[in-house]
Structure 1
């Protein structure tokens, strides 16, 4: 689907099973946030989180590997199902930024769209530097994954560039950093927005502004 000249993923309303899954994930995260805020991380057990979230410990582990992971939340991740390979092989002229937009919007869908959870998590992670560092490490790994995929796409688009690995890597890194700047802009606008909105909508808007900037005369 195209919105304001920017390619986006089609938005399909989640079914009942998916809504239940998202509701359970949210209840677990809220339970962890409540208990950690009250007792501290060391004073919280999986059994207590499960009780507050009204689930079994087995169900907890279907969603998170640990209480620390539940507290940190889901980092963005590249989409599965062949979308990455389609991104790499689509060498249509002028489509790179649109395709990066669609790819990162899909990645953003794996993260929470809940502003309340975002703010509460952010405040708590400041109290646990090791968890904050772990969260940042996952973001750096994601950035490296995106840079690798973009480099593969550039190699398909430009065989001459593909023969210069250093230049290819530097260009992929530059494009990745610019793309992540747009992502951070979207995250900030979403988190600080006065009116409710979806993170994916903010991502679409931020990348649309980026495309407008690059296509404006004199830039």
Structure 2
């Protein structure tokens, strides 16, 4: 996980991330060549230059390595969002940015995974399920913020109404995140200033900005 203080990861963390990435690259390369059933943990370990024991320190199965990690919602960032005083979408952008940093954000790796998952609907379904859990977690955090907002408290809205609004916010913001993710993956201009300087963060800002402009006026 990325240090919430913004400090660069230490040597041990960099090695851990490098090993985790190597395992994922290895399994995706092998599956592309041999199919899921034709790949074993021993094959993955040899390709990644790790022992099978090390493989299982990182992933419970080859399928887990193929699907990869869903983003996490860091507790400190979530708590900061709940008590945030800024515009809701702006504060959500900061939370999402912190969240995305909890996984390996590597366009080459993500592109490889996308190709494999498209060819294996059962694994794609597992990835969708993990992202749905993430969405539900985000909805709960938004619900906490809305429930504690003075305007909501004074309105007399019941818990079900607040939960419904929070779910709507989470759905819409997740759609914007997916849009940003797709734009980032499909951007082939490696010299584009935004890609070099900000990468996915810039795409997230652009998608949230477009969403804000669209909902603030009739189109």
TM-score by length of 1: 0.84
Cα distance, 1:213 vs structure 2: 4.7
Question: Aligned equivalents of 1:166 and 1:27: distance in 2?
Answer: 45
CA distance in 1, matches of 2:134, 2:179: 17
| Alignment partner, residue 10 of structure 2 | 15
Q: In 2 relative to 1, CA 12–164 (structure 1 residues): closer, same or farther, beyond 3 Å? A: same
- Residue in structure 1 matching 2:53, options 58, 68, 72: 58
Range 193-202 or range 24-33, more displaced: 193-202
CA distance in 1, matches of 2:111, 2:63: 17
Note the residue ranges of structure 1 that are not aligned, 5 or more in a row. Answer: 1-8
Unaligned runs of 5+ in 2: none
Aligned residues: 207
In structure 2, what is the equivalent of residue 4 of structure 1? none
Q: CA 1:88/1:161 → structure 2, altered by over 3 Å: closer, same or farther?
A: farther
User: By how many angstroms is 1:11 displaced?
Assistant: 5.0
Q: Distance in 2 between matches of 1:135 and 1:189?
A: 19
Query: 1:155 maps to what in 2?
Result: 147
Question: Are 2:27 and 2:65, in contact at CA under 8 Å, matched by a contact in 1?
Answer: yes
Pairwise CA RMSD of aligned residues? 2.3
- Displacement over 6 Å in runs of 4+: none
Question: Secondary structure at the residue paired with 1:43?
Answer: coil
For 2:135, the equivalent position in structure 1 comes to: 143
Query: Is 1:39 aligned with 2:25?
Result: no
Asked if 1:188 corresponds to 2:182, the answer is yes
Give CA deviations for 1:172-211 in whole Å, capped at 9, x if unaligned: 1221122112101210110111234332332233224434
Match 1:75 to one of 70, 76, 87: 70
Measured in 1, the distance between the counterparts of 2:178 and 2:156 equals: 29
| Structure with more contact order per residue of length (Cα contacts < 8 Å, sep ≥ 6) | 1
8 Å contact kept, 1:108–1:199 = no
User: Which stretch shifts more, 110-119 or 204-213?
Assistant: 204-213
- Check the 8 A contact 1:27/1:53 in 2, yes or no: yes
| Match of residue 106 from structure 1 | 98
Q: 1:218 to 1:41 in 2, by over 3 A?
A: closer
| Match status 1:205 vs 2:206 | yes
1:32 and 1:77, CA in 2 relative to 1: closer, same or farther beyond 3 A? same
Contact 1:50/1:56 (8 A) holds in 2: yes
